[in-house]
Amino acid sequence: MRITTNIQELQQELRPIGVELVAVSKTKSIEEIQEAYDAGQRIFGENHVQELITKQESLPQDIAWHMIGHLQTNKVKYIAPFITLIHGVDSFKLLQEINKHAQKNNRIIDCLLQMFIAEETTKFGLDHVEVIELLENPLLNTLKNIRIRGLMGIATHTDNEKEVKEEFYELKTLFDGIKLNYFRKETTFDILSMGMSADYKIAIGQGSTMVRLGSTIFGQRVIKHYKAQ
Ligand SMILES: *Cc1c(COP(=O)(O)O)cnc(C)c1O
């Protein structure tokens, strides 16, 4: 009941302003995800490949699964048949690998470039120079089976709202600049994935089009890692 209410409240908050909700279901059970699905939620995000494929097999097939975590090149093949959006692309090599497996599955896979915007050194992502290098790679337009849909970023985990706001502002500014310079003619560069439970309202204020919420929907995560039976 709690999950149902949370989903309904969030949809009421986000739909009118056109912000897409990714329900982050990592570590959560099939039953909990099914409850969110029954409440009308169709987009779910996971950050471990094994957990993602186990859940994809046992839940309704019209779920749009998003890979929100760091993706290793050798694991792309397992999710390529069904994945809807890959948020964490942080190298050209990974993009090439996604393209290869998308081609094998006769699909075009949507991707977001993950930008490093936080203070912490542990978070993955591209910096300003690396993202330009990737976008100017002469081989990029040979990758016909991927589509770069936008950017994703994770802000610093801090109570300092001003700092979080500045990081999201920086990401939005970068998004606008890249759109203008590299995707001016495409209408499909349109996703800015920023905002988690602690900071999604700040992210929306700075122009987020997609928020990734776990604990706001499902409650705090108690177990760190989901174990497949
Ligand atoms: C876990 C996770 C989230 C959701 O975190 P909450 O704080 O529970 O909302 C969002 N994005 C990424 C990349 C995550 O790994």
pLDDT tens-digit map of 143-185: 999 999 999 999 999 999 999 999 999 999 999 999 999 999 9
Contact indicator for 141, 154 with CB cutoff of 8 Å: no
Max Cα separation, the chain?
A: 52
Per-residue confidence band for 122, with pLDDT thresholds at 50, 70 and 90: low
Per-residue confidence band for 226, with pLDDT thresholds at 50, 70 and 90: low
In a mutational test of the pocket of ligand 1, which residue from 90, 212, 226 has the highest number of ligand atoms less than 8 Å from its CB?
212
Residue of the CA atom closest to atom 8 of ligand 1: 214
- The number of the ligand 1 atom at minimal distance from the alpha carbon of 218 is 8
CB 196 less than 6 A from any atom of ligand 1: yes
Topology of domain 2-218, per CATH? TIM Barrel (3.20.20)
Contact indicator for 195, 204 with CB cutoff of 8 Å: yes
Tokens representing 228?
């497949």
Residue 62 DSSP code? T
Question: Residue 179: helix, strand or coil by DSSP?
Answer: helix
CB 157 less than 6 A from any atom of ligand 1: no
Question: Residue 126: helix, strand or coil by DSSP?
Answer: strand
CB 69 less than 6 A from any atom of ligand 1: yes
pTM, whole model, 2 decimals?
Answer: 0.95
CB 219 less than 6 A from any atom of ligand 1: no
In the chain, where the domains are located? 2-218
Q: Which of 35, 9, 11 is closest to 22 using CA atoms?
A: 11
CB 22 less than 6 A from any atom of ligand 1: no
Q: Which of 86, 81, 82 is closest to 105 using CA atoms?
A: 81
Region 48-60 average pLDDT: 98
pLDDT at 187 over 50: yes
* 3-state helix vs strand vs coil in the chain, percent to 5: 45, 20, 40
pLDDT at 128 over 50: yes
Beta bridge partners of 45: 24, 66
In a mutational test of the pocket of ligand 1, which residue from 68, 70, 211 has the highest number of ligand atoms less than 8 Å from its CB?
68
Rounded CA-CA distance 112/191 in Å is 8
- Is residue 67 packed enough to be buried (19+ CB in 10 Å), middle (13-18) or exposed (0-12)? buried
pLDDT at 120 over 80: no
- Is residue 158 packed enough to be buried (19+ CB in 10 Å), middle (13-18) or exposed (0-12)? middle
Tokens representing 159?
């109570």
Q: Which of 60, 71, 67, 69 is closest to 36 using CA atoms?
A: 60
Contact indicator for 175, 151 with CB cutoff of 8 Å: yes
CB 181 less than 6 A from any atom of ligand 1: no
